[in-house]
Amino acid sequence: MINLIHSVGKGCNYLFEGQNARVTLDYKGHRITICTWGDNEYEEQLNIEKILNDQPEIAIVATRTKGETVRMVERFCTKMNYPLKWVEKYVTSFDDKSGQEYMNNLQAEQILDYIQGLIEGQLYYVDSITSIDTEGENGRYHVSLLGADMSEEGFPRTLSLELNGNELYFQELGGRVQEDDFVLYRPDSELRFFNGNETQLATVLRNESRDMRLELLTRQIAGEGVYAIRQKMPNLVKSYHVNVGHGNCSLILSVYGTEYDLWMVDCSSYDYLKRRDYSQNLYHCLADIANLLNVDLSSLRISRFMLTHTHFDHYNGLRYLVKHGLVDDKTLVYANLYYDCASPVWNGILKELLKLQCKFVEPVSENGNAGAIRIFHPECRLFKEANQVQGNERAVNEVNNSSVVYGIKLNEHIMVFPGDLEQKGFENMSRAGKCSSLLFWADYYVVSHHGSINGHPALACASPIQPIPTVLECATNGLNKAILMGRNGAYSGIYSPVVENYWNTACGLEYTEKAKHYVELEWNSGAVTTK
């Protein structure tokens, strides 16, 4: 820890090597005292005297795991009214010296990361804010944050927070924190968030997002959903719903004799809440598809990728697809380029899609109300024309309620993918008077918003069917099977018992979480296999 701070300030990597010390260092204008002794009461008393003498803003001391050294530090902090945070030492096997050295370095970096947050806040991108129970000041929210300063190859630092509504405000401005904001997060502040939208990195990311979206809009194809997709009659249709922990990832395979189409709706391969990579499950699914088609895995291509909305748990797997050549210049990407999303991960994906020269389809209903790919929501353009894209403009405040609702129709069977559409989004779709002829004829349905109550609306559906059913009654009319993608307990409210009971009673519910790799659904017979 001492060497790491010293290297940042002085450019020297090894101030101390293999010895104990009590030192006070300057870190970015802040005084930090570090005492590596702490095996007995005498050493701990010397640590306390060092702190009292040097008066640092932050002190790091060692203790035993229990006993008098622990109690001495606790009494000292109580007397001086100092906030106290305990950090348990990372350990590996005692005979693995190199492994322990790695763990020590890793822990030092993470402690310094925490200190950085205490001093000036770590810069994060606000990926999502989801209501857990009631909304407003008295409500509870799940907030997911992505580290803004990630490497292009690695996964970002992530934070998953459950906060009260009155905690979702910028400390110095008083304004409410919104999705797509950049925040400086200070973990121990009464109000945790400082405005990070004006930082240099946030400005760079925002400008990159705007410029890339403007460039990609020039590659947009109008009306592709209606005219370019022929209503073919495949002899086999299967969908594959991959276990990616908390996230969505579905493939639709249609086989026409010796030819095939492979489409995809959303793709996550990394559960940021659990910090676990699930790309091996996606690999197993793709390998099994290649084996079914009797082709090399390296030859598989996704001809159409359909994104419901720009939340990390729906798009992060695109990096895997690009890296392994599954998405190329012939892939048509359905994605809303008018919606401002300056996430560092999404920016990186857009850069790759630019390099590949991919073409885009704007996913609104006039671009997909017939043929094999049908778009049920949104019914109209929510966003400004390409030459008016300024960044941070939106017609729907919540990203979830901008979700595209795809209806895939093959062999007279329809599967509906609502993304994370919530009550307001379903209400918008229902008021347009279109859901009766769309959801009413669905055979298969992917449950919205990972099984939360937010994606389970009790809304009247604008339908000519009498009596007028609810939106959910439309969706469950004659439904053969519902698929639930996500991980139970990922955060409070997922899964909701109300949602599980409803779908299990209505038609039966298949859980991707319960599959080792994926759930396979054969559309003609409705047969389900977990692999």
445 prior amide bond cis, ω within 30:
no
Of residues 222 and 89, more confidence is placed in 89
User: In the predicted model, is pLDDT for residue 193 greater than 60?
Assistant: yes
What is the mean predicted confidence (pLDDT) over 125-137? Answer: 87
What is the mean predicted confidence (pLDDT) over 39-62? Answer: 94
User: In the predicted model, is pLDDT for residue 471 greater than 70?
Assistant: yes
Token pair listed for 204: 């760079």
- Minimum mean pLDDT range among 101-110, 208-217, 235-244: 101-110
Of residues 495 and 433, more confidence is placed in 495
pLDDT at position 382 is 46
**How high does pLDDT run on average in the chain?**
85
| Residue 521: strand pairing partners | 239, 528
What is the mean predicted confidence (pLDDT) over 478-494? Answer: 95
Residue 252 belongs to what H/E stretch?
strand 249-256
Using pLDDT thresholds of 50, 70 and 90, give the confidence band for residue 527.
very high
Amino acid at 135: E
What is the CA 453 to chain-centroid distance, rounded? 19
- Minimum mean pLDDT range among 158-167, 278-287, 462-471: 462-471
pLDDT in tens, 300-343: 999 999 999 999 999 999 999 999 999 999 999 999 887 788 99
Cα(380)–Cα(391) distance, integer angstroms = 20
pLDDT in tens, 255-270: 998 899 999 999 999 9
> Cβ neighbours of residue 404 under 8 Å, at least 6 residues apart?
306, 307, 308, 309, 334, 336, 363, 375, 377, 378, 419
Cα(59)–Cα(49) distance, integer angstroms = 12
Using pLDDT thresholds of 50, 70 and 90, give the confidence band for residue 101.
confident
- Minimum mean pLDDT range among 179-193, 274-288, 390-404: 390-404
pLDDT at position 105 is 80
Of residues 395 and 33, more confidence is placed in 33
pLDDT in tens, 405-440: 999 989 889 999 999 999 888 877 766 555 656 687
